[in-house]
Amino acid sequence: MISNILLYTMIAAVISFALGQKLKAVRWSFSALFLGYVGFQLYGLYGQWGMVETHNIFSLGSINFSLNFGITKLGWFFAFFTTIINIMIWIFSIVKNMNEKEERGINFLWILLAGSNLAIFFSVDWITFFIAWEIMTWTSFFIITPGWKNSFKAANWYFILSMFGAYAMLVGIWWLYATPAIHTLNIASSIALLAKLSITAPGTVGIIIALFVLSFFAKSAVFPFHPWPAEAHAEAPDDFSPYLSGIMIKYGLYGILLFIVPLFIQIMKVNPNIAMVNGIPVYSYILAWFGAITAVLGTYLAIVSNDMKKLAAYSTVSNIGYAVTSMFILSSAGVTGGLFHVVNHAVFKSAIFLSLGAVKFRTHEREMHKLGGLATKMPITFLTFLLGIIAAAGIPPLNGYASKWIIYQALLSGHFPFLTTMIFLASTGAFLYLFRALHSIFLGQLPRKFNNVKEVPFLMQIPMILGILSMLGIGYAPGIVLKPIGLAVKAMGLTPMTVENTLMVGKLSSINTAVVSSTFIGAFFFAFAFYLIGKKRHHVEPLDNYTAGQDPEEFGLTPELYHFALKFYEPVKNIFRPIEEKLNIKNYYRALVRNANSFGATLSEMFKLSGAGSSMIFVLGLVVIILAGWML
């Protein structure tokens, strides 16, 4: 069944490629419909846990390569939710690609990506996982590159870090396999065996975990890999950014949930002499700190960026940070919170990126200070963005707060005061950049060149409206998502949290989301009553404004000049400047690339020596080899 779905995906990709350059609308609608079909099929697969399909590829020597697909609770959950979000995004890109220039073969790659997306979640052995992982990496590279003008550089940030991670994972996989006590490629059994091995050989297990963690962190842009989303998400095509930010960056988290977290849980169960902090292994604690650092760093970088897509990308980084921190708490609430936040983030961040895509679709502008006042022109887009940032900031009654609440529950009940503080700092900082984006794009003065901007076409509004609905829906009744999460958490060997549709029960307190939502509505009506009491309001033009008594026309005031958006948080930047200059990871990476280039250039000069020179290398090399050989 799973293999059939994947096969159909391949076929669909080929069909889309074969449709040719002219039938753009057909192709994109076809692929969106196809994805809908896949979603439907996936829904039907719910409950068939433990089903495994094996396809042998070849065996040579002592290794047998085969593709194994199976349905795990976690995998199904991810597959289903990502597919749903994917459908939303694809509906958006139908219009986008019909109205803008479409790169040849992009749709083909999109479908392949969707297929590898499923394959990642359905693979039950490491080889399959790695294959799906690789395909996902390179297809996304090619989807990112035709984006904006610096897209190649941006895609390289993503690609090199990702490939670095993938190779780390490759070594990890084979290390697992080469360890005599494990010698399996099956994911589930490797977890159990590794946990046992941790008693006798903690060093090996530690290194293997480190290799996998490198890979997952690189993919999910956890510190110190955080620079890539800002580059890649920002430069990617506008309809692909939601996918990158909503789904792609979650693969690393999926990997963590698939492998690292269950492994730690197992180790805690079977290994009595592991070093613990606050009831969790030290490793896990350290990794949780990585998450916290990511959260704060992402927030700071989002605050100081002026590019709207970069801002949203850094926001993604910081949200990933919350999820990572929460997962590595290893408690039931922690894992649930992390997982739930992943879903919520996928929903609201896709909504945010979709609305940004819509803004860009109409204005072709990306730097925030050049925009402004679009709220009245594009109300649906504005509303999507507004609700998106409310959710992102974790403000009730939208979905973001439900997961943040669980994360705080986990952190507080596990007694992690400093982690909590970091997360809270990041979370509060989120208001800064989110509001900044809201203001600079949608509020304030409308530049005159955008006077004729219209709302995006209805087909583009559909996914945004869907986004709004799902944010509201999950916020009102988080139980609909938390129940399947509970299944996945239970499969990891934890007791799932007690949840009902609108009730979440934590250790420190419980919360009824319906109550929260209705409180907000009630309060709004209360305020509205006051509003009605007051005398009727009077509408004036935006530029008819307080100017300290000056006549605007006298000193040539334009909406562009009267829109405060550039260097919005200069004070914050000033506060952090001393630290920022010292700790710029990006510069470090740049230097690395530069050095690699000059290293290569130096080496290649060796091949331009004279004939005597190359003979010299020959002979000297031989002498050195002989001498070294005798030493070894």
Partner 1 sequence: MKSNYAVLLIAIPLLVAFLQPLFSLINKRLTKWVTFLTIGFNFIYSLKLLNYVMANGAQIAIIGNWKPPFGINLYLSPFSMLFATIIYFVALIVLLVYLIDKPTEVDDRMSIATLLMVMASGAITLTGDIFNMFVFVEILSISTVILISFNNKGISFKGAFRYIVLASLGSSMLLLAIGFIYGSLGTLNLASIAYRFNLLNPVYASVIVFLFMAGIMVEAELFPFNAWVPEAYKGSKSYLNALLSGVVGTTGIYVLFRMFITIFGSGQNHIQVIGSVNFNAVIIVIGVLTTLIGEFSALSQKDIKKILAFSSMAQMGIIAVTIGVANMNSINAGIFHLINHAFSKSLLFIVAFPIINIVGSANIDKWEGLGRKNIFLAIAFAIGSFGLIGIPFFNGFWSKMMIVESVVSAGGWMYLVIGTILLSALVETFYFFRIIFKLFVDKKIESTYSVHIFIYLAILILSIIVIYIGIKPSFLATYIHKAAIDLVDKSHYISTVLGVIK
Partner 2 sequence: MIVLKFIGYGFTAIIIGLLFMGIGRKYTARIQRRYGPPFWQAFIDVTKLFSKQSLSHNWIMDFGILMGFAGIVGTILFMPIGPWHFFSLMNGNIVIIMYFMTIGSLGMAMGVSASGNPNSTIGISRALTLMVGYEIPFVIAVIGLIFVSKSSLLGTMVSLQSGGIMNWNIIKYPFGFIAVEMALQAMLGEKPFDVITAPSEIASGPMVELSGKMMGLAFLQHAAQIFLETGIVVNLFLGGANNIWEFFLKQFVLFILSLTVNAISPRFKFEDAVKWLWTWPTVFALIQLLIIILT
Partner 3 sequence: MIQSTFFYTTAIILFLIGLYGVLTKRNVIKTIITLTIMETAVNLFLVTIGYVKNGTAPIFTSTISDVHKFVDPLPQALVLTSIVIGLGTTALMLSLAIRLYKKYKTLNYLEMDGEDEK
Enumerate residues 602-621 that contact partner 3 by CB under 8 A. Answer: 610-612, 615-616, 619
Q: Could you give the 3-state DSSP secondary structure of residue 125?
A: strand
Would you say 44 or 621 has its CB closer to partner 1?
621
CB of 398 to partner 2, least distance (A): 10
The answer to the question of residue 626 lying near partner 3 (CB under 8 A) is no
For the chain, the first-to-last Cα distance in angstroms comes to 55
Question: What is the H or E stretch that residue 277 is in?
Answer: strand 276-277
CB-CB contact of 166 with 133 (8 Å): yes
Question: What are the backbone dihedrals phi and psi of residue 477, each rounded to the nearest 5 degrees, phi first?
Answer: -130, 80
Query: Residues 3, 156, 189, 510: which binds partner 2 (CB under 8 A)?
Result: 510
Residues 569-598 that bind partner 1 (CB under 8 A): 596-598
Q: List the one residue out of 383, 409, 387, 385 whose CA is nearest residue 398.
A: 387
Query: Residues 121, 141, 361, 450: which binds partner 1 (CB under 8 A)?
Result: 141
Q: Is the dihedral of CA 348, 353, 358, 362 positive or negative?
A: positive
Query: Residues 58, 530, 555, 607: which binds partner 2 (CB under 8 A)?
Result: 530
CB-CB contact of 257 with 74 (8 Å): yes
The answer to the question of residue 569 lying near partner 2 (CB under 8 A) is yes
- Which range touches partner 2 (CB under 8 A), out of 114-122, 166-174, 522-530, 581-589? 522-530
Task: Give the number of residues in contact with partner 3, rule: CB under 8 A.
Answer: 6
Opening angle at CA 263, ends 258 and 266, nearest 5: 130
The answer to the question of residue 574 lying near partner 3 (CB under 8 A) is no
CB of 571 to partner 2, least distance (A): 5
Query: Residues 20, 44, 417, 621: which binds partner 2 (CB under 8 A)?
Result: 417
The answer to the question of residue 593 lying near partner 3 (CB under 8 A) is no
For residues 131 and 111, give the distance between their C-alpha atoms in angstroms, rounded to a whole number.
16
Residue 405 interacts with, from partner 2, partner 3, partner 1, none (CB under 5-8 Å by kind): partner 2
Residue 601 interacts with, from partner 1, partner 3, partner 2, none (CB under 5-8 Å by kind): partner 1
Binding mask 172-211 for partner 1 (x = CB under 8 A): --xx-xx---------------------------------
Opening angle at CA 308, ends 145 and 476, nearest 5: 105
Would you say 7 or 619 has its CB closer to partner 3?
619
Binding mask 397-436 for partner 1 (x = CB under 8 A): ----------------------------------------
Secondary structure string (H, E, C) spanning 406-439: HHHHHHHHCCCHHHHHHHHHHHHHHHHHHHHHHH
Task: Return the structure tokens found at 380.
Answer: 């649906």
- Which range touches partner 1 (CB under 8 A), out of 29-37, 161-169, 574-582, 583-591? 161-169
CB of 608 to partner 3, least distance (A): 8
CB of 152 to partner 3, least distance (A): 23
For residues 148 and 309, give the distance between their C-alpha atoms in angstroms, rounded to a whole number.
12
CB of 254 to partner 1, least distance (A): 18
Would you say 69 or 141 has its CB closer to partner 1?
141
Would you say 606 or 616 has its CB closer to partner 3?
616
Binding mask 91-130 for partner 1 (x = CB under 8 A): ------------xx----------------------x--x
The answer to the question of residue 618 lying near partner 2 (CB under 8 A) is no
User: What stretches of 180-307 show up as alpha helix (H) in DSSP?
Assistant: 187-200, 202-220, 227-235, 241-243, 250-255, 261-270, 282-304
**Range 36-42, long-range pairs (CB < 8 A, 24+ positions):** 36/87, 38/5, 38/8, 38/9, 38/83, 38/114, 38/118, 39/80, 39/83, 39/84, 39/87, 41/1, 41/5, 42/5, 42/76, 42/79, 42/80, 42/83, 42/118
Would you say 287 or 304 has its CB closer to partner 2?
304
Binding mask 37-56 for partner 1 (x = CB under 8 A): -------------------x
CB of 194 to partner 1, least distance (A): 16
Would you say 273 or 574 has its CB closer to partner 2?
574
- Which range touches partner 1 (CB under 8 A), out of 29-37, 247-255, 287-295, 623-631? 623-631
Task: Return the structure tokens found at 250.
Answer: 């979650």
For residues 198 and 574, give the distance between their C-alpha atoms in angstroms, rounded to a whole number.
47
Distance of CA 13 to the CA centre of its chain: 24
Question: What is the H or E stretch that residue 499 is in?
Answer: strand 498-500
Task: Return the structure tokens found at 102.
Answer: 């479409």
Query: Residues 1, 562, 586, 589: which binds partner 2 (CB under 8 A)?
Result: 562
The answer to the question of residue 61 lying near partner 3 (CB under 8 A) is no
Query: Residues 18, 521, 591, 617: which binds partner 1 (CB under 8 A)?
Result: 617
Q: Which DSSP category does 368 fall into?
A: G
What is the residue-wise DSSP string for 565-609? -TTTTHHHHHHHHHHHHH--HHHHHHHHHHHHHHHHHHHHHGGGS
Question: What are the backbone dihedrals phi and psi of residue 53, each rounded to the nearest 5 degrees, phi first?
Answer: -120, 130
The site for partner 3 (CB under 8 A) is made up of: 610-612, 615-616, 619
The site for partner 1 (CB under 8 A) is made up of: 56-63, 65, 103-104, 127, 130-131, 134-135, 138, 141-142, 145-146, 152, 155-156, 159-160, 163-164, 167, 170-171, 174-175, 177-178, 596-601, 603-604, 606-609, 611, 613-615, 617-622, 624-626, 628-630, 632
